[in-house]
Structure 1
Amino acid sequence: MAVFLGAALSAAVPVLAAADDKGALQGAEQAAYLEELKRLYLTGNERQALLTHTNALLETYALRAGYQVGQAQRQDLLYRFEVGNAGDLILREESRGQQGTAISVRNQRVSVFGIDPFIRYECPTGGIRCVLLNPVDGSQLLSIVRDHQGAGELAKALSFLIRNVQKG
């Protein structure tokens, strides 16, 4: 038993060291992510690259009426972010009826100063959507089609965008 415990402890030490190394690389990984976005969107402006990427992801993973088979009131949900006054992001939500005739637009101001920039999301197993949560109060911020990878990428881009806007 003592031999087994000793082997388990010695195996755990490299894992802890690897976790510390990963934390050190995180800054480099973040810089590489931001540089890749600037290269992808042909801009030298970090905020513009993040905003363009976030809006492209919102368009790609939009919850469209075509995904809502069997739902009573199917509608397209389209979102777009803009940078407002200092410390504000403006989320534009547009919902369109199935025929495209009934359009509703709602703007929501998200003040980013003093909040944790980490965006959480939920993708219920029985549903057709993922929900990104408002970092201010944990309420629903927006809905996209149920795609864990897409929700994760969108949450990451939006978290970086919030951090960028928090810098001023």
Structure 2
Amino acid sequence: MQLRLTRNLIAGLLLAGGLLAGPLSAAEPAAVLSGAEQERYLSELKRLYLTQDERQALLAHSNGLLETYALSAAYQVGQAQRQDLRYQLRLGAPGELLLREETRGAQGSDLAVRNQRLALFGVDPFIRYDCPPAGISCVLFSPADGSPLLSIVRDHRGAAELAKALSFLIRNLQKG
């Protein structure tokens, strides 16, 4: 039920912001927004997550998207090594974002956790992503070095929205 509610809230947010009108480029997820559209997007997120803090709204939205578009074993029919991939973001030191990756085997018995610190000062804040037509997942790339950062279920709109939210969050964290 939470998954359905999150998807409905995201769809409502996108429709309210008028962001479904044009195609989003994978290389420039946030470049579509002008100053007024950016303010409208951030104010909708603050209203949606009941906070006046842009950073908290962006963090909550990013974590909600990560949960909604998580790559679970159920999506990996026919794959040899099916596993659940779950991610969670937290704030670290100033200019730092903490990414927790949980990998669980298809039977649910094997669990591996990996924590990663993302230093954000001096990096390009725009998150790039790729959703290969033949694959089952979309990959979002690290702004620091372009290496794969995280994988979500193959959904172009979800990847675009997550890349946009993360780009805004990175820009916000770069302010200090």
TM range (shorter): 0.7 to 0.9
Structure with a larger share of its residues in helix: 1
Q: Please report how far the alpha carbon of residue 33 of structure 1 lies from its aligned counterpart in structure 2 after TM superposition.
A: 0.4
Q: Please report how far the alpha carbon of residue 101 of structure 1 lies from its aligned counterpart in structure 2 after TM superposition.
A: 1.0
Alignment correspondent of 1:96: 104
Helix, strand or coil for the counterpart of 1:89? strand
Which of 112, 127, 132 lines up with 2:120 in the alignment?
Answer: 112
More contact order relative to length (CA 8 Å, sep ≥ 6): 2
Which of 84, 87, 108 lines up with 1:79 in the alignment?
Answer: 87
Alignment correspondent of 1:129: 137
| Aligned equivalents of 2:140, 2:154: Cα separation in 1 | 11
Larger Rg: 1
Q: What is the correspondence of 1:18-167 to structure 2 with a 5 Å cutoff?
A: 26-167=34-175
Cα deviation code 1:115-152 (max 9, x no counterpart)? 01000000000000000000100000000000000000
Cα deviation code 1:29-73 (max 9, x no counterpart)? 111100000000000111000000000000000000000001111
- One-letter code of the match for 2:126? F
Q: Please report how far the alpha carbon of residue 157 of structure 1 lies from its aligned counterpart in structure 2 after TM superposition.
A: 0.2
Misfit runs of 4+, over 3 Å? none
**Gap runs ≥5 in structure 1:** 1-22
- Give the TM-score taking structure 1 as reference length: 0.85
| Aligned equivalents of 2:40, 2:175: Cα separation in 1 | 19
| Aligned equivalents of 1:165, 1:83: Cα separation in 2 | 9
Helix, strand or coil for the counterpart of 1:44? coil
Alignment correspondent of 2:22: none
Q: What is the number of equivalent residue pairs in this alignment?
A: 145
| Aligned equivalents of 2:66, 2:139: Cα separation in 1 | 12
Helix, strand or coil for the counterpart of 2:138? strand
Cα deviation code 1:64-100 (max 9, x no counterpart)? 0000001111000000111100111000000001111
| Aligned equivalents of 1:53, 1:101: Cα separation in 2 | 29
| Aligned equivalents of 1:72, 1:136: Cα separation in 2 | 32
- One-letter code of the match for 1:134? S
Provide the identity percentage.
71
